[in-house]
């Protein structure tokens, strides 16, 4: 089966006053058609930059310095602006974070669809807009409303409808529900799942909520300091996390099982400037050895599709 999206050795740097920061460092993964991949990480992990790179939306002072992003044989990282313009929304679409800012406040929702259709020379029309809105659980008359007349959840659904309007093969959703109340969040995610399945599209969900990822994603990739440190099926990741960071991250999650128990990860994520050689998690890692500070770990692949960037990935699972 051919992949929907293939990322190989992606690296993105930001030129800042204080130096060059490597926000994404040698990230590789594949996305299968119809798959739901979750990319989870904390602030500074590079997850959002990775997501934006997939549509080549990283702007100065950031730029893609290495790697390939392949969709249908076309390398997004090196594509011309014209090709990018045609591919965005038509082959790969974005559902952004903070829908309040993504919709044009002076256009009705219907007009924003018209914009999209016109830009891609597609007929569109009222009937199609109506059916798109219905597919995300909104009524057709939303097309005549302005964004400020809609609630947060409704706006996010309009963004989803815009993203699927041209039937893309890949949808990238960057924390689409983080600004929403938890009940609305579930409804929007249910909509997203339904839409994605009807379309047969693959979806990458970027976020920091592990609970969400556990429920939403088939596969989960964990990022830390710009690197993809672990990737595997959701069940495998939660059942048997093999990277120390993944283990500690899962252990730190509050659950309805334990009260008064707190397991944070001490220390802070490293600065992305002037990165030390070796594994970036070394200062905070309970398993760290001398080797970790000197030598950056390569990716260890397992037969079940799991990949881990740790010198000790082969060790049997032990309680962190």
Partner 1 sequence: MGAKFVATSLMKPGMSLELRGAGVTFGGGLVGGPRKEALRPIDLVIAADTPQILAVVGESGSGKTTLTRLLVALVRPSMGRVLWHGRDVWRLDAKEFREYRRSVQAIFQDPFGAYNPVYRVDRMLLLPAIQFGLAVSEEAARPLAERALADVGLRPAETLGRFPHQLSGGQRQRLMVARAMMLKPAVLVADEPVSMVDASLRATILESLWHMRHDTGMSLVYVTHDLATAYQIADRVLVMRNGEVVEHGEASQVIRDPTHSYTRALMAAVPPPDPTIDWGLEKQR
Q: Which two tokens stand for residue 77?
A: 């990282």
Of 110 and 207, the one with the shorter C-beta distance to partner 1 is: 207
Radius of gyration of the chain (CA): 20
Q: Which letter does DSSP use for residue 88 in this model? A: B
Does the CA dihedral 312-316-318-320 come out positive or negative? Answer: positive
Shortest spacing between CB 256 and partner 1, in angstroms: 6
Q: What Cα–Cα distance (Å) separates residue 35 from each residue in 199, 201, 287?
A: 12, 8, 33
Q: Least distance to partner 1 from the beta carbon of 215, Å?
A: 4
Q: Looking at beta carbons only, is 104 or 139 nearer to partner 1?
A: 139
The upper half-sphere exposure of residue 113, i.e. CA atoms within 13 Å in the direction of its Cβ, equals 28
Pick between residue 178 and residue 301 the one whose CB is nearest to partner 1.
178
Task: Let me know if 92 is exposed, middle or buried by CB neighbors in 10 A (0-12, 13-18, 19+).
Answer: buried
The SS3 call for residue 110 is: helix
Which residues bind to partner 1, rule: CB under 8 A? 42-43, 137, 181-183, 185-187, 189-191, 193-194, 208-212, 214-216, 234-235, 238, 248-250, 252-256, 258-269
Q: Shortest gap between Cβ of 43 and partner 1 (angstroms)?
A: 6
Distance CA 169, CA 53 (A): 17
- Least Å distance between CB 275 and partner 1? 17
Nearer to partner 1 (CB atom), residue 50 or residue 177: 177
129 vs 220 by CB, closer to partner 1: 220
Nearer residue to partner 1 within complex by CB, 71 or 234: 234
Report the residue number, 75 or 187, with the smaller CB distance to partner 1: 187
Supply φ then ψ for residue 267, to 5 degrees. Answer: 90, -175
How many residues belong to the chain? Answer: 320
- The Cα–Cα gap between 293 and 297 comes to 10
Shortest distance, position 288 Cβ to partner 1, whole Å:
16
CB of 211 to partner 1, least distance (A): 4
For residues 6 and 18, the answer to whether their CB atoms sit within 8 Å is: no
Q: Where are the beta strands (DSSP E) in the chain?
A: 5-16, 19-31, 36-41, 62-71, 74-75, 92-95, 170-174, 202-207, 219-224, 227-233, 300-301, 307-308
Q: How far is the CB of 152 from partner 1 (least distance, A)?
A: 8
128 vs 187, beta carbon nearer partner 1: 187
Closest approach of Cβ 193 to partner 1, in Å? 5
């Amino acid at each position: 089966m051919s992949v929907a999206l293939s990322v190989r050795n992606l690296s993105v740097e930001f030129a800042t006053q204080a130096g060059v920061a490597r926000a994404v460092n040698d990230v590789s993964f594949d996305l299968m058609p119809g798959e739901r991949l979750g990319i989870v990480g904390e602030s500074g992990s590079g997850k959002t930059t990775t997501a934006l790179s997939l549509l080549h939306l990283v702007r100065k002072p950031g730029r893609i310095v290495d790697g390939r992003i392949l969709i249908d044989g076309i390398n997004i990282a090196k594509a011309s602006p014209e090709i990018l313009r045609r591919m965005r929304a038509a082959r790969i679409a974005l559902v952004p974070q903070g829908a309040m800012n993504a919709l044009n406040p002076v256009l009705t929702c219907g007009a924003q669809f018209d914009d999209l259709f016109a830009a891609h020379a597609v007929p569109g029309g009222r009937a199609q807009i109506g059916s798109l809105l219905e597919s995300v659980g909104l009524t057709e008359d939303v097309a005549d409303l302005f964004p400020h007349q809609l609630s947060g959840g409704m706006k996010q659904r309009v963004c989803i409808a815009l993203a699927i309007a041209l039937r893309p093969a890949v949808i990238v959703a960057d924390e689409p529900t983080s600004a929403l109340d938890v009940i609305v969040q579930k409804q929007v995610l249910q909509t997203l799942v339904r839409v994605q399945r009807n379309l047969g599209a693959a979806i990458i969900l970027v976020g920091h909520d592990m609970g969400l990822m556990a429920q939403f994603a088939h596969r989960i990739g964990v990022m830390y300091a710009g690197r993809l440190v672990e990737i595997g099926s959701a069940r495998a990741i939660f059942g048997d996390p093999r990277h120390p960071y993944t283990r500690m991250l899962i252990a730190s999650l509050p659950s309805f099982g334990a009260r008064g128990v707190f397991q944070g990860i001490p220390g802070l994520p490293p600065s992305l400037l002037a990165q030390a050689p070796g594994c970036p998690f070394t200062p905070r890692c309970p398993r760290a050895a001398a080797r970790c500070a000197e030598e950056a770990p390569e990716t260890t692949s397992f037969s079940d599709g799991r990949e881990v960037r740790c010198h000790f990935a082969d060790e049997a699972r032990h309680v962190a």
